[in-house]
């Protein structure tokens, strides 16, 4: 049964308990961003400070529920006194810092990062990236036609430090095939920008399963299970937390993938309903995405203090019984 979202209930009466000491006052750090002064808590990142000023900074590998890895470099800013640009997502602010988020250098680097990504992977299911590309006038064909780099599947066997050639006039692009080796999700690494989010979610930041890691090196670096075995042969527990954090649609629930391939996925016809997972006593908040009266996807809010956006296999994929009632619905 689907429970409609309720207004927050009044806090219940609690027995008296010892006073919780107030948190220590945080030291404020003041800095200047694009000529504006701002004070933020010590330990904040430049990105936090930018956001507190309403400066919209592009991010791809950063996610609110993951440790910043600063690998995509689309969030770089110019910091006075720093030779190179600085990743705003992970650099803590310091007193007196002078930051420029929209200088010529910053705009060029951001555009180039986007063009390099668009020249090597299929970004058609990466809405954020496409929006940034428009903002920074990044072209998808800046380096010639995207051309498969090797035979399908060859990437899993690539030796580190042994590059292959593509025909002249072409830009080497990541080649598949789409990996469909289980019923719950699909891995289409032709769309992978190697943001490390799935690896973090599978490992230290959420699930602690370590079924996937980055393997190989350079342009052949790839997300892989051990020896590229199929997911059922790996340590994967199908929590789908990797799917939830993927920003480009490289990882996708099988149901969504087949609807998209069939052209029936239509977010304009979808509604989101908040509920609580019915499986166990943890009480994970669920958001059920419903299209044409059928649940097509389950997620959890990233800002939920219970889940931080993570779920288990049951909460994430175990909704089919709802719509498999006798006689159908």
Partner 1 sequence: MDMHLMKAQPSDIERAALDAVEALEIPGVSGAELRRSLVLPALHALNDAVGWITPGGLEELCERLDIAPAVAYGVASFYGLFSTQPLPGVAVHVCDDVVCATLGSETLCQEIEEALGPEGSPPDGVAATWFRSPCLGQCDRGPAALVAVAGSDPPCRSHAPAEPAGLLGAVRVAVSSRETHGVAGPVPARREVAPVAGSVIPGAAELTSEAWPPAAGPAGTASPAAGPAGTGPPAAGPPVARIIARVGRVDPGSLDSYRAQGGYAALRRAVWLGPGGVLAELERSRLLGRGGAAFPTGAKWAAVAREPARPHFVVANADESEPGTFKDRLLMEGDPFALVEALTIAGYATGSELGFVYVRGEYPLATARLEDAIGQARARGLLGGDVGGHGFAFDIHVRRGAGAYVCGEETALFNSIEGFRGEPRNKPPYPTTVGLFDKPTAVNNVETLCNVLQVIALGAEAYADIGTQTSSGTRLFCVSGAVSRPGVYEEPFGVTVAEVIDHAGGTSDGQAPRAVLLGGAAGAFIGPEDLDQRLSFESARHAGLSLGSGALIVFGHDADLPSALVRIARFFRDESCGQCVPCRVGTVRQHELLERLAQGAPLGSSEADLVRLDEIAAVMRDASICGLGQAAASAAGSALARLGVFDGGST
User: How many residues are given for the chain?
Assistant: 329
User: What residues contact residue 167 under an 8 Å CB cut-off, 6+ apart?
Assistant: 147
Q: Is 113 in the site for partner 1 (CB under 8 A)?
A: yes
Report DSSP state, residue 113.
H
Q: Which of 99, 193, 251, 298 binds partner 1 (CB under 8 A)?
A: 193
Given a contact cutoff of 8 angstroms between Cβ atoms, the answer to whether 71 and 194 are in contact is: yes
Of 29, 146, 220, 255, the one binding partner 1 by CB under 8 A: 220
Q: Which is nearer to partner 1, 167 or 326 (CB)?
A: 167
234 scored as a contact of partner 1 (CB under 8 A):
yes
Question: What are the DSSP calls for 283-320, one per residue?
Answer: --EEEEEEETTEEEEEE--TT-TTTTT---HHHHHTTG
Place of tokens 């998808």: 140
Piece of 23-31, 136-144, 261-269, 281-289 that binds partner 1 (CB under 8 A)? 136-144
Should residue 98 be labelled a site residue for partner 1 when binding is judged by CB under 8 A? no
- Minimum distance from residue 183 beta carbon to partner 1 (Å): 19
Stretch that binds partner 1, among 125-133, 154-162, 183-191, 284-292 (CB under 8 A): 154-162
Q: How does DSSP classify residue 240?
A: -
Query: First and final CA of the chain: distance in angstroms?
Result: 13
CB of 300 to partner 1, least distance (A): 22
Q: What is the DSSP letter of 179?
A: B
Site residues (CB under 8 A) for partner 1, limited to 236-265: 237
> Reduced to 3 states, what is the DSSP secondary structure of residue 87?
strand
119 touches partner 1 (CB under 8 A): yes
Closer to partner 1 by CB, 51 or 73: give it: 73
Is 25:10 a contact under the CB 8 Å cutoff?
A: no
Residue that the structure tokens 């719509």 belong to: 323
Of 8, 20, 27, 168, the one binding partner 1 (CB under 8 A) is 168
Helix (H, G, I), strand (E, B) or coil at 60: coil
Q: Which of 76, 79, 123, 288 binds partner 1 (CB under 8 A)?
A: 76
| 160: contact with partner 1 by CB under 8 A | yes
Confirm if 109 and 163 have CB atoms less than 8 A apart.
no
Q: Which of 175, 219, 259, 301 binds partner 1 (CB under 8 A)?
A: 219
Binding site for partner 1 (CB under 8 A): 70-74, 76, 84-85, 87, 90-91, 105, 108-109, 112-113, 116-117, 119-120, 142-144, 157, 159-163, 165-166, 168-172, 193-194, 203, 208-221, 224-227, 229, 233-235, 237
């Amino acid at each position: 049964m689907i429970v409609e979202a309720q207004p927050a209930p009044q806090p219940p009466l609690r027995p008296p308990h010892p006073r919780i000491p107030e948190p220590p006052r945080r030291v404020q750090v003041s800095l200047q961003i694009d000529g504006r002064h701002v004070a933020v808590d010590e330990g904040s990142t430049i990105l936090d400070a930018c956001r507190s000023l309403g400066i919209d900074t592009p991010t791809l590998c950063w996610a609110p529920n993951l440790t910043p890895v600063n690998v995509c470099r689309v969030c770089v800013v110019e910091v006075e006194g720093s030779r190179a640009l600085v990743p705003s997502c992970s650099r803590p602010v310091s007193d007196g810092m002078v930051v420029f988020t929209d200088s010529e250098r910053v705009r060029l680097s951001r555009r180039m990062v986007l063009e390099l990504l668009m020249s090597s992977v299929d970004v058609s299911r990466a809405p954020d990236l496409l929006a940034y590309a428009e903002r920074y006038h990044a072209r998808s064909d800046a380096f010639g036609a995207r051309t498969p780099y090797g035979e399908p599947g060859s990437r899993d066997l690539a030796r580190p430090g042994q590059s292959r050639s593509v025909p002249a006039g072409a830009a080497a692009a990541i080649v598949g095939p789409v990996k469909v080796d289980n019923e719950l999700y699909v891995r289409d690494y032709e769309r992978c920008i190697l943001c490390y989010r799935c690896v973090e979610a599978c490992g230290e930041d959420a699930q602690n399963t370590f079924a996937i890691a980055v393997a190989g090196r350079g342009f052949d670096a790839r997300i892989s299970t051990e020896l590229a075995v199929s997911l059922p042969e790996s340590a994967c527990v199908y929590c789908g937390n990797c799917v939830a954090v993927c920003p480009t649609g490289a990882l996708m629930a099988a149901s969504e993938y087949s609807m998209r391939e069939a052209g029936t996925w239509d977010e304009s016809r979808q509604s989101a309903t908040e509920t609580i997972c019915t499986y166990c006593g943890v009480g994970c908040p669920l958001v059920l995405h419903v299209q044409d009266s059928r649940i097509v996807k389950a997620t959890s809010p990233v800002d939920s203090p219970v889940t931080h956006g993570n779920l288990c296999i049951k909460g994430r994929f175990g909704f089919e019984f709802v719509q498999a009632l006798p006689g159908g619905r």
